[in-house]
Amino acid sequence: MFSYFEFLIAWRYLRSKRSEGGVTTMTWISLIGISLSVFALIATLSVRSGFRTELVDTILGANAHVTVYNQPMKDAEGNVYRSIKDYERLNTIISSLESVHRSAPLIRGQVMASANAITTGVDVFGISPANILSIRRVVDPETSSGNIKNFSKGLAIGSGVAQTLSVSVGDTIKLISPTGVKTAFGTSPRVKTFEVQYIFTAGRHDMDKIRIYMPFKIAQEYFDRANLADEIEVLVKNPEQIEKITEELSNVTNGNFLFWTWKDASSNYLRALEIEDNVMFIIMSILVLIATMNIISGLVMLVKNKGKDIAILRTIGLSETSVLRIFFICGAMTGIIGTIFGTLLGCLFAVYVDQIFSFINVISGGDVWDPTIRGIYSIPAELRWENILTAVSISIGLTFSITYFPARRAARLHPVEALRYE
């Protein structure tokens, strides 16, 4: 499609100095602009992919994929309760499904935790020692201390709770439940002391600062749930097909229970992330468009400066199509080289994002990434081939489209008009 001499002429034009009628400065500006815009686009796409992966991973790794609740009912005194009486039978039915990885009865409650004259609110999850081993973000966390095998002797608490209460493995904390024993003088708070056996960091600051796990039998006794469970926690094999699995659960339970999926619990997060992804993609694509627009100004100047050369080439027999291809190569080569450099920079940023921000932290002398505000402990970046191909396609596509018009103008330059005053 392109002849060797066309590449040779285009390359000579790109390298020519301004005194010779070239636009080397504009070429460099266009190349740097495209490189930076492609770098920004790949970095943005990688970080947004990393954010979603990290968010979903922490949700699926530390929470139930589906939570099964009982329908609200009233007891003889008119109090509404949702506890599950035959939870063992229900758990057996749910576990028998092929799509279910594991199910476990839970006791849940909100209490006050106190230690070292410090008090904070926490969520308590009562779960059996065997079932806690299947919670990936607890058993294999980012950091941990203690031994999860000793869970049956005490509590497993989040690192945020441990930091707030200034406790470590082997220390004791006091749990205070406001819904305690009813007496003639009113409800007496239930108070009990437990030993910390394990401290984990699940990867989400909002989880680590409030979450405590307690052995199931001890939780039944502490929350006065003898022979009862508050809910059934279900982990499935394919969380992305949770809607289909929920229908299966509804069929085997005869529609007598309510279901709350991980997508329901995190719908606001996922929706906000999707909107932000789309907006950032549009903004970064506009930046690439602005960078490629510099090619037009460079080529227009090049065509103007090389008008005499074009006329001579046309006079000796060069066709309009060949002239168009020469100047198309000039613009396209700038875009391709800029895209290559931008892609390399974007990939390096995604791979070494932690080291880059550590360096920024050192220079700024502060904490650039605050997990108490952003929820996760570091900037996640995930380099995907589809993101690289998207950025490269946008850059190359815009470059080729924009280059065509000034190249076409050069091809239509009449030799007589170009040499009229020479």
- The predicted structure's pLDDT at residue 78: 62
DSSP state of 149: G
Record the tokens describing residue 181, joined without a space: 């024993």
Record the tokens describing residue 348, joined without a space: 């390096």
Record the tokens describing residue 48, joined without a space: 């947004």
H helices of 316-413, in order, are 320-351, 353-364, 371-374, 385-411
Instruction: Provide the residue-wise pLDDT of the chain in tens; the chain has 422 residues.
Output: 667 777 777 777 776 665 544 556 777 888 888 899 899 899 888 888 887 777 777 777 778 889 998 887 766 666 666 788 888 999 999 988 888 988 999 999 889 999 998 999 999 999 999 899 888 888 877 778 888 889 999 999 998 999 999 999 999 999 998 776 665 555 667 889 999 999 998 877 778 889 999 999 999 989 888 888 999 999 988 888 888 888 888 888 887 788 988 888 877 777 877 888 888 888 888 888 888 887 777 777 777 776 677 777 777 777 777 777 787 888 888 888 889 999 999 999 888 887 777 777 677 666 655 555 454 556 777 888 888 998 899 989 888 888 888 777 777 776 656 555 55
- The predicted structure's pLDDT at residue 376: 58
- The predicted structure's pLDDT at residue 373: 45
How far, in Å, are 39, 234, 351, 365 from residue 155 at the CA level? Answer: 47, 22, 37, 37
Record the tokens describing residue 318, joined without a space: 């060069």
Decide: 47 and 379 in contact? Cβ < 8 Å.
yes
CA pair distance 287, 69, nearest whole angstrom = 49
- The predicted structure's pLDDT at residue 211: 92
Decide: 30 and 334 in contact? Cβ < 8 Å.
yes
Q: How are the residues of the chain apportioned to helix, strand and coil, as percentages rounded to the nearest 5?
A: 55, 20, 20
Record the tokens describing residue 6, joined without a space: 């066309």
What is the Cα 57 distance to its own chain's centre?
A: 9
- Phi, psi dihedrals of residue 253, rounded to the nearest 5°: -100, 10
CA pair distance 175, 153, nearest whole angstrom = 15
Please name which of 317, 326, 400 lies closest in space to residue 6, comparing C-alpha atoms. Answer: 326
CA pair distance 39, 228, nearest whole angstrom = 56
Decide: 44 and 280 in contact? Cβ < 8 Å.
yes
Record the tokens describing residue 320, joined without a space: 């309009």
- The predicted structure's pLDDT at residue 253: 83
- The predicted structure's pLDDT at residue 174: 93
DSSP state of 77: T
